[in-house]
Each structure stands twice: as C-alpha cells, then as structure tokens.
Amino acid sequence: MSNGSTFPPHRRLRGVLLAVLAAVVAAGVGGWLVWRASGGDGGPAHGAGPPAASRSPGGAGDHGAGGHPPDGKDSPAPGTAHGSLKGKVVLLDPGHNPHNRDHGREIARQVDIGNARKECDTTGTSTDDGYAEASFTLDVARRARTLLQREGARVVFTQDGDRRYGPCVDERAARGNEAHADAALSVHADGSAPGNRGFHVILPARVTAGPADNAAIVAPSRQLGERLAGRFLAVTGSAPSNYLGHGTGLDVRSDLGGLNLSTVPKVFIECGNMRDPKDAAQLTDAHWRQKAARGITEGITQFLTHR
C-alpha cells in the first residue's frame, strides 16, 4: 500500500491540469459577459449599411417627404456615461414653425442654397387628424434638449416657437455654424403616401457651389447619421423606412439648404410618416415621442464620445 494518494502520479497531474483549464474558461466567459453588458466597443447597437442616394417622394419643405424599457429612468447609451457631453455644443433645429401657415408670402421668399434657390421655409405636413409636423418637431426637440443638457451639453435651438415664422433654411444652417456646434440635427416627420412607413436619416451629399461648401463635413455627418439611425432603431423599436434607403434608414441628398450650407456635422431625421395611420399613431403618442428623444440623444452622444 502507498503512503500518499491512491491515484498514480500521472492521474494526479491530469486532474490538476483540468482544474486549471476550467478556471481559465470561467474567467474568460465572465469577462466577455461584462464587456457585452457595458455595450461592447461602444458602437451602435444596430449597424447601418451604406446609404443609398435617393430622393424622398412626397416630402414637404426643405426635407422632403427596442432595446430599452419605455420611458422610465433615462440611462446613458451603451458605452457612455452621464455628463459625457460636458463642453460639447449641440444644435437642434425643430423643422418648420407653427406660425408659418400665417406667413405664406414671407416663407415663399427664395433663398440661395448653393446649387439652387428654394423657399425660405414651408408649413410642413400633418397627420390626417391635424397634428402638425411643426408641433411634433418642437415637442421632440424640447424633450431631447432636456436629455442632452442632463449629459452636460450646451444645446442651441434655431427656433423655439418664439418667432413669427421660419427661420429660413439658410439661417438655420448659419445658426449651427455660428455656434461652432459639435453636432447639428434637424428634426422632422415625413409627408409621404399611406403605406410608406418607418424613419430615415438624411445625410448631406457634397455640394461646393455658390455659398455652399460642405465637403469637410460629409464624412463626419455620415458617422453622425449612422450612430443616430442605430440608436433610434434600438430605443423606439421603429423600423427603418420601407420606401427609401434600401432598408438602411439612410438617405443622401443635395437639395437641402440646411445641409448644403452647414460647416458643422449635420443630418436630418424623419421620425416617421405622418400620412400613414400606423406611423401617425406613434408620432401622436407622447410616450413614443419621449423614446424618440432618447434615441436622438443616445445617437448624438455616441457620435460625440466615440469619434
């Protein structure tokens, strides 16, 4: 009989090696789970493919046509932290103006957008029951302002329902340029045909003509748009547009003064189609609009903290 273990030496060694291997595997799995819970590499929850250059049908004015619990306590986007936007400037441009309808002659005035001339502004669209796009954009922009300020950003508005009309599209671009905004976003809702559903983000095409020279901001604007589309999809649960962008939720245009004349990274978001009954039910729901504001905030935050 042996004075030590009853197992031969080679079996004792194999047991030790198996125990060490099990510990290494457990540690690796645990580390991976922590990495995933923190948002991985901080990238968008949903990758957006390359945008398709297309024109939104049936649009209005200067724009043309889930992952989180609803509302509740707003939390930072994955890979970010509260206060992460301290020192950043964000320009929010609520599309149109509730008073534009009373100033038809003023908003019809033509302005230079670089490669063309367009109306100063338009009235925007509305749902079938009369909920105006201008009211929607102000509400969502104000909600997003509150969330962005909570993250430490200085938020600049082009208008806050405090103007007789407008401002014109060239002035909207100038406001972001003058503020040296780190990111700029124009908030809209589309006015396309019923059955056309979903959101899309409009990216600037390169325009260097007349007073327009946005060449330097095309690439960062694309990055902003991709982050925004990913987080808007994750937070609201809304699908990307089914009528343009080939499922990416991204569109590229060269006919928008707000993008042509911008010298800071800027995109438009069409949060849904007001002329479609199913989209309209979301757009008129304050609960959903809060989610839209959170998606916007998270997209901007990820862009500004992961450039």
Residues 275-293, mean pLDDT to the nearest whole number: 98
Residue-wise pLDDT for 227-246, tens only, equals 999 999 999 999 999 999 99
Residue 178 appears among annotated catalytic residues: no
Closest to 191 (Cα-Cα) out of 279, 119, 113: 279
Quick check: pTM over 0.95? no
Predicted local confidence at residue 55, as pLDDT: 35
Q: Is the pLDDT of residue 1 over 50?
A: no
Q: pLDDT category, 82, cuts 50, 70, 90?
A: confident
Please give the mean pLDDT across all residues of the chain: 82
Instruction: Provide, rounded to the nearest whole percent, the portion of the chain with pLDDT above 90.
Output: 73
How crowded is residue 30: how many other Cβ atoms within 10 Å of its Cβ?
10
Q: Is the pLDDT of residue 95 over 80?
A: yes
Q: Is the pLDDT of residue 96 over 50?
A: yes
CATH T-level fold of 61-305:
Aminopeptidase (3.40.630)
Angle at 130 between CA 126 and CA 135, to 5 degrees: 60
Query: Which of left, alpha, beta for 245 (phi over 0: left; psi -120 to 50: alpha)?
Result: left
* Amino acid found at 236: T
Predicted local confidence at residue 10, as pLDDT: 46
Q: Is the pLDDT of residue 277 over 70?
A: yes
Predicted local confidence at residue 83, as pLDDT: 85
Coil, strand or helix at 201: strand
By the 8 A CB rule, do 186 and 267 touch? yes
Q: Is the pLDDT of residue 68 over 70?
A: no
Residue-wise pLDDT for 20-40, tens only, equals 444 433 433 333 332 333 333
Predicted local confidence at residue 34, as pLDDT: 28
Q: Is the pLDDT of residue 2 over 90?
A: no
Residues 79-92, mean pLDDT to the nearest whole number: 87
Q: pLDDT category, 75, cuts 50, 70, 90?
A: low
Predicted local confidence at residue 196, as pLDDT: 98
Predicted local confidence at residue 194, as pLDDT: 98
Predicted local confidence at residue 307, as pLDDT: 81
What burial letters (b/e) apply to 271-286, b meaning 16+ CB within 10 Å?
A: bbbbbbeebbebbeee
Residues 180-195, mean pLDDT to the nearest whole number: 98
Q: Is the pLDDT of residue 285 over 60?
A: yes
Q: Is the pLDDT of residue 266 over 90?
A: yes
Residue in 133, 151, 270, 298 annotated catalytic: 270
Predicted local confidence at residue 25, as pLDDT: 36
Distances (CA, A) of 126 to 131, 234, 266, 275: 5, 25, 24, 7
Predicted local confidence at residue 200, as pLDDT: 98
Predicted local confidence at residue 76, as pLDDT: 58
